[in-house]
């Protein structure tokens, strides 16, 4: 398992120097400043590689750009509207340019409009740490009373609608503004940062598409880009929906094992693969993460290892980002399944036997609390998670060597 770390570029408050001190082996990054639908040029890719390879003092870091996360898929591609064909050609050109730069793994997602959704970016825990949280009644209050989406109340159980009404009635203007900013929160340096009007516009553009339509559009996209990736020796890996349930009336098509199986079978080549995110998938109690790794493992090209604590046993539920060993996912069982898959790949002589992973969405602890880094990506909280994951890997590896795994 290759230890990587997400870096958002020069604006990231967690530096290359910090990654070195954390002991990571590779870097996960993207060119967030480039508009979606445009090709990533060799010059821009080389500049990011140079930034990753250099410490603040100008010396060589020894780190490389191992995984792209994410090469964005435009809303036009997802809907097959506007310039979608040109955007696919730009995506393919980006693949060629990344391959020429020596980068083989590309993570992407097919979530409509919003990449991920939370209602609190700094939820206080009893320990004094903070974390990200999705609170279903608060999100319903946003959807029904702030966004005022048509028939929004029909998307939620009666008790959630009633709770949303009470929550909204007690919110002041500042709290409403904060919630809007949280729900539409974008990545630092991203070219697209949505307002409420932008969100309404994009929601309207998806009217009538439905899950079957979006799924068909994903298959069309993959039939275009995956054969090229296969020819180049690259690996594409789709990130699951986050959270993996319908939101804002939008279709969600990458939320379960069955969703992944459909897409992998529809474009059945090794380059078409999975980003197994234990946090996103783990918010559904019907997703068996170790079992998914067992059954889909030969097509898992990238891992996000994080944990969440569900606040009910419903598929649509509130949850918060737990410490890596404290949530509802059995992280030891999941890592054991990963190591088993890696051993299988080594026996088969696969060049991708070591699967890159990153510790995802750490809690803000200690000095993180005053740094205001990208929510979910503090330095110390992620280092704690990485250390815990290293401990699992080391223990299981030694057990295997002694014949116990």
Alpha-helical (H) ranges within 101-209 are: 136-141, 158-169, 173-183, 196-205
Does the active-site annotation cover 377?
A: yes
The token pair that represents 113 in the structure block: 């409009």
Q: Give the C-alpha distances (Å, rounded to integers) separating 68 from 8, 33, 188, 232, 317.
A: 11, 14, 16, 15, 30
Does the active-site annotation cover 201?
A: no
d(CA 130, CA 123): 5
Q: Which one of 131, 237, 277, 352 is the catalytic residue?
A: 277
Neighbours of 174 (CB within 10 A): 8
Q: Which one of 32, 87, 202, 239 is the catalytic residue?
A: 239
Does the active-site annotation cover 237?
A: no
Cα dihedral 236, 110, 253, 120 in deg (nearest 10) = 120
Q: Rounded to an integer, what is the distance from CA 362 to the centroid of its chain?
A: 13
d(CA 377, CA 14): 8
The token pair that represents 144 in the structure block: 């029904």
Cα atoms in the Cβ-side hemisphere of radius 13 Å centred on 385: 32
Does the active-site annotation cover 330?
A: no
Laid out side by side, the sheet with 307-310 consists of 120-124, 130-134, 319-322, 307-310
Cα atoms in the Cβ-side hemisphere of radius 13 Å centred on 184: 21
Does the active-site annotation cover 87?
A: no
The token pair that represents 99 in the structure block: 């391959």
The answer to whether the CB of 222 falls within 8 A of the CB of 272 is yes
Q: Which element (helix H / strand E) includes 149?
A: none
Between strands 356-359 and 235-239, the pairing is unpaired
Q: Which element (helix H / strand E) includes 339?
A: helix 331-348
DSSP tag of 60 = B
β-partners of residue 277 are 304
Q: Which one of 32, 87, 301, 304 is the catalytic residue?
A: 304
Q: Give the total residue count for the chain.
A: 405
Does the active-site annotation cover 145?
A: no
Q: Comparing C-alpha atoms, which of 193, 169, 170 is closest to residue 181?
A: 193
Tell me the chain's radius of gyration from C-alpha atoms: 21
User: Which residues are annotated as catalytic?
Assistant: 239, 277, 304, 360-361, 377
């Amino acid at each position: 398992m290759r230890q990587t770390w997400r870096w958002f570029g020069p604006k990231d408050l967690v530096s290359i120097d910090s990654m070195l001190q954390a002991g990571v082996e590779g870097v996960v990054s993207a060119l967030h400043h480039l508009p979606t639908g445009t090709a990533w040029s060799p010059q821009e890719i080389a500049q990011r590689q140079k930034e990753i390879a250099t410490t603040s003092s100008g010396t060589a870091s020894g780190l490389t750009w191992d995984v792209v996360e994410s090469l964005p898929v435009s809303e036009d591609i997802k809907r097959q509207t506007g310039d979608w064909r040109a955007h696919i050609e730009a995506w393919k050109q980006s693949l060629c340019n990344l391959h020429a730069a020596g980068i083989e793994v590309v993570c992407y997602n097919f979530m409509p409009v919003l990449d991920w959704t939370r209602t609190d970016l700094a939820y206080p825990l009893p320990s004094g740490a903070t974390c990200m949280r999705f609170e279903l009644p608060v999100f319903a209050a946003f959807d029904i009373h702030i966004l005022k989406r048509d028939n929004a109340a029909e998307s939620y159980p009666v008790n959630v609608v009633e709770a949303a009404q009470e929550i909204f009635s007690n919110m002041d203007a500042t709290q409403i503004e904060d919630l809007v900013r949280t729900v539409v929160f974008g990545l630092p340096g991203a070219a697209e940062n949505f307002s409420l009007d932008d969100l309404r516009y994009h929601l309207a553009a998806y009217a009538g598409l439905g899950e079957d339509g979006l799924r068909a559009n994903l298959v069309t996209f993959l039939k275009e880009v995956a054969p090229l990736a296969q020819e180049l020796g690259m690996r594409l890996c789709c990130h699951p929906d986050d959270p993996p349930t319908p939101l804002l009336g939008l279709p969600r098509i990458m939320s379960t094992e069955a969703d992944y199986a459909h897409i992998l079978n529809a474009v059945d080549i090794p380059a078409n693969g999975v980003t197994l995110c234990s946090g996103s998938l783990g918010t559904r109690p019907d997703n068996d993460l170790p079992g998914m790794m067992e059954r889909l493992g030969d097509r898992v090209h990238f891992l996000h290892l994080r944990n969440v604590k569900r606040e009910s046993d419903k598929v649509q539920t509130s949850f918060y980002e737990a410490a890596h060993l404290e949530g509802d996912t059995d992280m030891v069982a999941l890592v054991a399944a990963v190591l088993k898959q890696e051993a299988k790949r080594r026996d088969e002589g696969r060049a991708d036997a070591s699967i890159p992973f990153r510790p995802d969405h750490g809690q803000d602890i200690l000095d993180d609390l005053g740094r205001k880094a990208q929510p979910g990506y503090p330095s110390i909280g992620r280092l704690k998670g990485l250390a815990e994951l290293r401990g699992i890997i080391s223990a299981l590896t030694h057990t295997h060597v002694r014949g116990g795994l």
